[in-house]
Amino acid sequence: MVAALRPEQPVYCVRPHVLRETARHFVETFPGHVLYAVKCNAEPAFLDALHDGGIRHFDTASLPEISVVGELFADTQSYFMHPVKQRGAIRAAYGEHGVRHFVVDHPDELAKVLAETGAAPDVVIIVRLATARGAAVYDLGGKFGVSPIQAADLLRQAFAAGHRVGLSFHVGSQCLTPGSYTAALRLAAHTLDLARIPLSVIDVGGGFPVAYVGLYPPPLEDYVDAIHAGLARLDLPEDCELWCEPGRALVAAGASLVVRVELRRDNFLYINDGIYGSLSDLKHAGLRFPMRVLRPVGDRVEVITENLAEFSLFGPTCDAVDMMEGPYRLAADAREGDYIEIGQAGAYTLELRTDFNGFCPDNFVEVGDDAFLPTADMEPCPFLSAAAE
Ligand SMILES: Cc1ncc(COP(=O)(O)O)c(C=O)c1O
């Protein structure tokens, strides 16, 4: 791609075969419905590849997300998993898009959903439970979810109104400990003890992690074992459905981002994408994405993985906050005109873009090579980092 295009702007290199294979593995390994969390990456090329890999259920949080899925596929189901919804969106989701499952975590939201759907008997109410902060990079518990006592009240209220009900939670994104799911299911068991009604759905949410530099999570199979261990404590009806809502785990490896170095100042590289573009996770979550320098030489491109030094990166905007400290191990002689391939760039990158200062990456090409994943030699050297402080 770099040899052929020498792009001036950042380019997302999409790997549909990786997306298909990742989806297939997840669907085969998880013993229930896999709802892809559309918020993570809603580009049609990604959705198409996931669909090819067997994804038929979509966790959607807004009417535009529901519409994107509905326009692409005729054999899928969307679920309205945002606990706070606009009334018009509820009406359209139910009436025009065939959505039947709605998440709530407040009595007023339950009343809203029932009012806007005419309390139709086929509406299924999923109550979101708050979970303790575990070893997740992003905690989502502070904003959404209720205690077991409040969840039990909501479940009973919806059930008494004639609806099938479910429980959901989210242990936090990039959750590194499978035991967090077991612990959350313990809370679900406590909630059911209080509610004493049959559950139609238990949804263990998203949070399944991927590898970044220095972060190598256990395999998906360990998470499934932990979920089985948690489910064993729950007294569930035979026909209760098990769901999960992965985002990051399905799409991260499905794209690299190729950026260009515009200037080197000491060990700072000024590149053409940053935290207001695709790379906010590098700043806000401190995640170290795998990176390597691609250097055009004549009509070839050298991939430089030796003689590395530690760099920080500046994004293209005028804001001094637009900086990614790293450190990132890149070619010691990195310079203007070099490209940097950033791997694991399919999740929470292009969805979070802004066009602040006129910079908005929007170029896509399809590539057929292997996913670019982190390796141990990308980890910063502790001696060098300490010396720099
Ligand atoms: C309700 C819900 N489900 C699923 C996800 C996807 O999470 P992840 O990408 O960590 O799997 C999110 C992410 O914010 C979420 O809020």
CA of 173 to the centre of ligand 1 (A): 6
Same-domain pairing of 195 and 261: no
Higher pLDDT, 344 or 136: 344
Within 50-155, strands assigned E span: 57-60, 77-80, 101-104, 124-128, 136-138
* Tens digit of each residue's pLDDT (9 = 90 or more) over 67-125: 999 999 999 999 999 999 999 999 999 999 999 999 999 999 999 999 999 999 999 99
In eight-state DSSP terms, residue 246 is -
Collect all residues with Cβ–Cβ distance below 8 Å to 144 and sequence separation of at least 6.
83, 105, 128, 130, 170
Selection from 220, 292, 289 nearest residue 252 by Cα: 289
How far apart CA 284 and CA 68 sit, in angstroms, is 28
Same domain, 240 and 268: no
- pLDDT for position 376: 84
Checking if the pLDDT of 137 tops 90, the result is: no
Give me the catalytic one of 175, 318, 360, 381: 318
Tens of pLDDT, residues 143-154: 899 999 999 999
Q: Are residues 126 and 178 in the same domain?
A: yes
Residue 276's domain spans which residues? 2-11+253-388
Examine the pLDDT at 245 and tell me if it is beyond 80. Answer: yes
Tell me the torsion sign for CA atoms 375, 371, 267, 339: positive
Residues 192 and 149 in one domain: yes
Q: Domain check: are 233 and 323 in the same one?
A: no
pLDDT number for residue 389: 45
For a pocket test of ligand 1, which of 35, 104, 173, 177 has the largest count of ligand atoms closer than 8 A to its C-beta? 173
Band of residue 387 on the pLDDT scale cut at 50, 70, 90:
very low
Task: Tell me if residue 244 is catalytic.
Answer: no
| Pocket lining for ligand 1, CB < 6 angstroms | 37, 40, 59, 81, 140, 170, 173, 205-208, 245-249
What is the pLDDT at residue 140? 67
CATH number assigned to the domain comprising residue 170: 3.20.20.10
Name the residue with higher pLDDT: 235 or 290. 290
pLDDT of 21 reads: 98
219 and 175 fall within a common domain: yes
My answer on whether 229 and 296 are in the same domain is: no
Question: According to the model, what pLDDT value does residue 285 have?
Answer: 80
